[in-house]
Amino acid sequence: MSGLFARDTKPDITAYRVLCTVALVLQALGIVCLPCFDDYGLMCFVSLAQLALFVVAALAFPGRQPFVIFFLVANWIFNCGQIACIAAGYGTDDVLNLDFRWYGSPTTIDSAFRFYLYSQTFVTAGALLLQRSAGDKPARSAIRRSSELKALAKGLIFIGLPFWLYVNGSKMMGAASDAYHGVYSLIIPAPIQALSFFFEAGLLLMLLVIGRGREGTPLFWSVVAINVVVMTTGSRQYSVCFLAVWCLVYFCYLKRLSPGRTVGMVVACVCLLFLIDAFGELRTFGFSFEALSAYFAKASFFDVVWDSLGEFGSAFSTLVTSMTNVPSVLPYGMGATYVAGVLSIIPTLVSRFPLLKAATQFTASIDSAFLGGSMLGEFFYNFGWFGIACSFLVGALLAWCQGRLNEAEDRGRIVYVWASAVLAVFLLLFIRGYFTDAIMKLAYVFLFSWLASCLIKYGSQRRTLKRGGGSQEVDAA
């Protein structure tokens, strides 16, 4: 636990990188030497052994690594959850959602599993080898920066709230009229969804500014409660990823985990797991308190665990489908999804290019849109086996996010901590989503924040001059 939440020792980072590289190369050679993966028990064991090795490597890093570890575990759940269910004897239709065995031959499944193992290796390599130890950077004026950041957080919340209410109100009404079908059939323009994210980005910034004080506790639990209510619509993916980062920031960086808080956090996570599974079970017919009571009357912890692995693990189905149909049915995208993602910043621009529009959700081109997105499936669709290299870039982003999160103690670096937390939400979503889902939201939030920060700083300097602070005080700020 100490290595996960707090680490003060600073061993030689160069020696660590050498040892880590050796471990990564040796385990990769071990994967190459295995002739085939035709037994799901073996596949489960190998994936868990690899995950354990990478977690140990992260814990040995001279710095805290909670987000890196969480991402690696999440990537295993989404790509190996169904494999674990089958290996444990729970490979039935009532447990597995979109069973990956329906979408590819044993040979394709073997290839997809190897693709996952190599990708997980490259993610870990990027996250641990490119990450630097936290530098000793001078803190800025804490009082002024806190006031400016609080003003920015309020601005984001104020602008995003109407759009957030519209998006989630629409989901509530859709769920009330036609259960989950009424939710996923909604068509909400991308700019409105991007502006809606301002609200949650503002909440994250506000948590970082006031989370250490007494005001932070009601804010934290209020946002958790709001997201639980939103998940009653059956739409859970975004809320789960947001809450994961929300809780990680609060418990790992803003509060010191005493034994009592640790127990409370574990209990809260278990309760949340039950609620997530319950909302998934009930969304076909719509949420009601009677149905929820009936669910809890028969639910057991292990049933919830296997159901969750069986449902979340369906990202592997998208990867298998991609490897089955590309390039035999659908040609390689050659990076089209990423070009479309960048162009999507300008509303309606992508729709003017039919090939790019089709690439944004490549699964629709092979009549598998219901499978949903997948980071690994998208990598293979674009570049085939060379797509594994993209995992290293994801690892590089993990390294940047983790490095900035580890600077949370420095009040002068809050804006970078916040930016990494915002990016962390979409990195988690990308595991089971599409690249284009995030780019517009990130671009709009960061562009607005930069412009607003410039205006706030300009206003602060003007007030200083009016009070007769002089040019020297302005420069010092």
Residue 183's pLDDT is 72
pLDDT score at 372: 86
- If one compares 370 and 193, the residue with the highest pLDDT of the two is 193
Between 209 and 146, name the one with better pLDDT.
Answer: 209
Between residues 4 and 59, the one the model is more confident about: 59
pLDDT tens string 223-263: 999 998 888 887 788 889 999 999 999 988 998 777 777 77
Q: What is the per-residue pLDDT across 338-369, written as a single tens digit (0 to 9) for each? A: 999 999 899 888 888 888 888 888 888 887 77
- Find the range with the poorest average confidence among 45-49, 119-123, 406-410: 406-410
pLDDT of 6 strictly over 60:
no
* Structure confidence at residue 233 (pLDDT): 82
pLDDT higher than threshold 50 for residue 104? yes
- Report the range of poorest mean pLDDT among 63-77, 90-104, 134-148, 334-348: 134-148
Rounded mean pLDDT, 398-419 = 91
- Under the banding of pLDDT at 50, 70 and 90, the label for residue 3 is very low
Asked if 460 contacts 400 with a C-beta cutoff of 8 angstroms, the reply is: no
More confident residue, 185 or 424: 424
First to last CA, the chain: 39
474 has pLDDT over 60: no
Residue 180 has what pLDDT? 65
| Residue 73 in tokens | 């575990």
pLDDT of 257-305, one tens digit each?
777 777 777 787 888 888 888 777 777 666 677 777 877 777 788 888 8
Residue 409: the pLDDT is 85
pLDDT range class, residue 134, cuts 50, 70, 90: low
Residue % of the chain over a pLDDT of 70: 91
347 and 191 Cβ atoms separated by less than 8 Å: yes
- Compute the average pLDDT of residues 184-200: 89
Domain boundaries, the chain: 142-313+402-476
Say whether pLDDT at 79 is over 50.
yes
Residue 448 pLDDT grade (very low, low, confident, very high; cuts 50, 70, 90): very high
CA–CA dist 279, 297 (Å, integer): 15
What is the chain's mean pLDDT, rounded? 86
The pLDDT score that the predictor gives to residue 179 is 67
Encode pLDDT of 20-73 as tens digits.
Answer: 999 999 999 999 998 888 899 999 999 999 999 999 999 999 889 999 999 999
- Model confidence at 333, pLDDT cuts 50, 70, 90, reads very high
**What SS3 string covers the chain?**
CHHHHCCCCCCCHHHHHHHHHHHHHHHHHHHHHCCCCCCHHHHHHHHHHHHHHHHHHHHCCCCCCHHHHHHHHHHHHHHHHHHHHHHCCCCCCCCCCCCHHHCCCHHHHHHHHHHHHHHHHHHHHHHHHCCCCCCCCCCCCHHHHHHHHHHHHHHHHHHHHHHHHHHHHHHHHHHHHHCCHHHHCCCCCHHHHHHHHHHHHHHHHHHHHHCCCCCHHHHHHHHHHHHHHHHCCCCCHHHHHHHHHHHHHHHHHHCCCCHHHHHHHHHHHHHHHHHHHHHHHHCCCCCCHHHHHHHHHHCCHHHHHHHHHHHHCCHHHHHHHHHHHCCCCCCCCCCHHHHHHHHCCCCCCHHHCHHHHHHHCHHHHHCCHHHCCCHHHHHHHHHHHHHHHHHHHHHHHHHHHHHHHCCCCCHHHHHHHHHHHHHHHHHHHHHCCCCHHHHHHHHHHHHHHHHHHHHHHHHHHHHHHHCCCHHHHHHHC
Read off the pTM. Answer: 0.90
pLDDT at 94 over 60: yes
